[in-house]
Amino acid sequence: MRLVLCGGGTGGHIYPALSVLEALTHELGLEDQLDVLYLGQAGALEDELVSRVGIPFQTVPAGPVRGRYPWQLPGSLLRVLLGTWRARRALARFGAQVVLSTGGYASVPVAMAAWTKGVPLVVFLPDVLPGWAVRFMSRLAARVAVSTSMTPARMLDGKVRVTGYPVRRDFWLADKTEGRRRLGLDLEEKVLFISGASQGARSINEAVAASLRGLLELCQVVHVCGQRDYPWLKEVRASLNGNLRERYFLFPYLHEELPWAMAAADLAVTRAGASVLGELPAVGLPAVLVPYPHAGGHQRHNARYLEEAGAALVVEDGRLKDELLPLVGQLLSDERRRQEMAAAARRLARPDAARNIARLLLEVSQAR
């Protein structure tokens, strides 16, 4: 099978594609029967992550449409058209038999190219509520895979399969003891995991900095802050006294170690990007979710889904600085409540998600 992957901008769009590829090779045993090409934007996160795992990568221009000012739209549309033309050439030269899109505006030109070339397209919707790009691509797709049954099927042209959110195999292998050993954490003390997703979150980072000494008196803190805020947070860490500094584990980003860092934790504070739908349930990690208040409000729907299931609490972005320390203190001191939240998270886990999407790809590629 000659498979083209696309989807970019954030880890929530990129890692599902890599997880499905992992399922095709390791679980379905197709490694010797599979040729793969990833199409994405030059210099974007997908360029970095895909290069790390050694998958051939070609660049395709794309441009956002949602949220653009009127005078910005012509440039974005021109990039989409140029990207579609380049993607058509790439699909033809590669001899693509099926395309998997995991969302984001960067994947729109590839989806359009697949449709115009008659190459079957499978679209994966990571979020509970589809964004404009996925709603558009669903019209061109042979199948649409969704993370949860809460996604309105009427928005996706009746092509829906509920597959779950695919996560990397390490999320199913990671455990607390090994995770703490890998990161150099104390095995007995509480651990708080904090993340603003793949690009970091300024408001979360500022709230953490404002409450950092109080947090470190409660627990060890593993903070994935993003490249942009890492330099000034590194200075904050350096200003701490020795005992507190040793309890603060600061990273600009985590790749291979992310599943182990999450498994090591007793509680998470994080954005509510699509990845929380798969990663938190996989490791059974209770969470305080802080939805990003912009970009269509998709994160709010993800957060409410986990909150209604009993796996998370939701705090609005503007209230986090005031509520972070007391809420973390309350949850870390309430073992029973955290265990109930962890159990609720595990009930949402879908270990078969990546394999389900892999089988969809086989299905549509063989139906040509």
What integer pLDDT is reported at residue 77 of this predicted model?
Answer: 76
Average pLDDT over residues 187-200: 88
Q: Is 54 in the same domain as 126?
A: yes
Q: Looking at the structure, tell me whether residues 299 and 282 fall in a common domain.
A: yes
Tokens linked to 282: 């996989």
> Could you read off the pLDDT of 234-283 as tens digits, one per residue?
999 999 998 999 999 999 999 889 999 999 999 999 999 989 999 999 99
> Whole-number mean pLDDT of the chain?
90
Domain co-membership, 10 together with 37: yes
pLDDT per position as a tens digit, 130-165? 777 778 888 899 999 999 988 765 555 668 899 999
Q: Are residues 128 and 16 in the same domain?
A: yes
360 and 332 within one domain: no
The Cα 104–Cα 5 span in angstroms is 13
pLDDT, position 11: 79
pLDDT at 10 over 90: no
Residues 182 and 159 placed together within one structural domain of the fold? no
In terms of residue numbers, what domain contains 208? 170-347
Number of independent structural domains in the chain: 2
pLDDT at 199 over 80: no
Same domain, 82 and 222: no
Q: Where are the beta strands (DSSP E) in 173-324?
A: 191-195, 220-224, 248-251, 267-270, 287-289, 312-314
Same domain, residue pair 355 and 343: no
- pLDDT the model gives residue 106: 80
Helices 320-332 + 202-218 axis angle, to 10: 40
Do 244 and 159 lie in one domain? The reply is no
Q: Are residues 134 and 113 in the same domain?
A: yes
Domain identity same for 36 and 152? yes
The answer to whether the CB of 347 falls within 8 A of the CB of 309 is: yes
CA distances from 326 to 215, 289, 333 (A): 9, 15, 11
> How confident is the model over 290-342, as pLDDT tens digits?
999 876 578 999 999 999 999 999 999 999 999 999 999 999 999 999 999 99
Same-domain status, 179 and 154:
no
Span between the terminal Cα atoms of the chain, in Å: 12
CATH number for the domain spanning 237: value is 3.40.50.2000
67, pLDDT greater than 80: no
